[in-house]
Amino acid sequence: MIDYSPFFQTLKAKNESTYTMIHKHNISSSLINRLRNNKPVSTTTLNDLCRILKCNVEDILVYIESDNDQFL
């Protein structure tokens, strides 16, 4: 499973907030909600977040193995 908790840690480290992401950087509140709930987001969105926060993708997400992952 993809976990977006590093995103929120990176926000804090960069002195940003979900408020500034929404109002200053035009990130939708629905995207913030998707990140909070570990829902899928596109690679384009990940690219935008990395560009805004000047960070790497591993500063936004982490993969955690889960028994609930879909069977391949």
Please tell me the total count of domains within the chain: 1
For 45, the domain range is 2-63
What's the pLDDT at 32? 98
Q: If pLDDT is split at 50, 70 and 90, which confidence band does 70 have?
A: confident
User: Does residue 40 lie within any of the structural domains?
Assistant: yes
pTM of the model: 0.89
| Region 16-39 average pLDDT | 97
User: Does residue 24 lie within any of the structural domains?
Assistant: yes
What's the pLDDT at 25? 96
User: Does residue 71 lie within any of the structural domains?
Assistant: no
User: Does residue 52 lie within any of the structural domains?
Assistant: yes
User: Does residue 68 lie within any of the structural domains?
Assistant: no
Q: Which two tokens stand for residue 43?
A: 């690679």
User: What's the CATH code of the domain at 15?
Assistant: 1.10.260.40
Q: Pick the range with the lowest mean pLDDT from 3-7, 16-20, 68-72.
A: 68-72
Helices (H) and strands (E) in the chain, counts: 4, 2
